[in-house]
Amino acid sequence: MPTKLRAAIIGAGSIGGAHIQGYLDTGRFDIVALADLNAEAMAEANELYDIAPVHYLDARQMMEEVRPDVVSVCTWHKGHSPWTIAAAAFKPQAILCEKPMADTVGAAERMLIACERNDVKLAIAHQRRFLPSYTLARNLIAEKAVGDVNLIQSLGGDGLPNFSSHQADMYRYLLSDDECIWVMGNIERKTDQYERATRIEDRAMAVFQFAGGPRAMILSDLVTNHYQGALIYGSDGMINLTTESLQLLNSETGGRWELRVPDGKFFTVEAVGHRFEWIEGAAAQADELADWVEGKIEVHRGQGEHGYKALQMVHAVYESARMHEKVEMPLQTRVNPLDLMVESGHLTPQRPGRYDIRIGRLRNENMTEDTEN
Ligand SMILES: NC(=O)c1ccc[n+]([C@@H]2O[C@H](COP(=O)([O-])OP(=O)(O)OC[C@H]3O[C@@H](n4cnc5c(N)ncnc54)[C@H](O)[C@@H]3O)[C@@H](O)[C@H]2O)c1
Strands ordered across the beta sheet of 351-356? 198-199, 191-195, 351-356
Atom 21 of ligand 1: nearest residue by CA position:
13
* Residue 319 CB partners (closer than 8 Å, separation 6+): 183, 327, 331, 333, 337
Atom 13 of ligand 1: nearest residue by CA position:
76
Atom 15 of ligand 1: nearest residue by CA position:
14
SS3 9: strand
The pLDDT, as a whole number, for residue 369 is: 56
The pLDDT, as a whole number, for residue 368 is: 54
Identity of the residue numbered 41: A
Peptide bond into 100 cis (omega under 30): yes
- pLDDT (tens digit per residue) in 243-297: 999 999 999 999 999 999 999 999 999 999 999 999 999 999 999 999 999 999 9
Task: Find the 148 Cα to ligand 1 centroid distance in Å.
Answer: 39
H or E, element range at 165: helix 160-174
Peptide bond into 337 cis (omega under 30): no
CB 192 within 8 A of CB 130: no
The pLDDT, as a whole number, for residue 365 is: 55
Identity of the residue numbered 220: S
Point out the residues of the chain with pLDDT beneath 50. Answer: 372-373
* Residue 90 CB partners (closer than 8 Å, separation 6+): 63, 64, 67
Sign of CA dihedral 164, 169, 174, 178: positive
Atom of ligand 1 lying closest to residue 162 CA: 43
The pLDDT, as a whole number, for residue 125 is: 98
What span, in angstroms and rounded, lies between the C-alpha atoms of 164 and 198? 14
Sign of CA dihedral 15, 20, 23, 27: negative
Mutate to test the pocket of ligand 1, among 60, 74, 96, 124 (most ligand atoms within 8 A of CB): 74
Strand 121-124 relative to strand 94-97, pairing: parallel
Domains of the chain: 5-128+280-302 (3.40.50.720)
CB 156 within 8 A of CB 319: no
Burial of 262 (0-12, 13-18, 19+ CB in 10 A): middle
- pLDDT (tens digit per residue) in 336-356: 999 999 999 999 999 998 999
User: Which candidate, 303, 314, 315, 311, places its Cα nearest to that of 99?
Assistant: 311
The pLDDT, as a whole number, for residue 373 is: 43
Task: Find the 169 Cα to ligand 1 centroid distance in Å.
Answer: 20
* Protein residues whose CB sits closer than 6 Å to any atom of ligand 1: 10-16, 35-38, 41, 59, 74-77, 79, 98-99, 125, 127, 162, 196, 361, 370
CB 369 within 8 A of CB 359: no
Atom of ligand 1 lying closest to residue 75 CA: 24
* Residue 22 CB partners (closer than 8 Å, separation 6+): 127, 279, 281, 282, 283, 285, 286
Task: Find the 258 Cα to ligand 1 centroid distance in Å.
Answer: 38
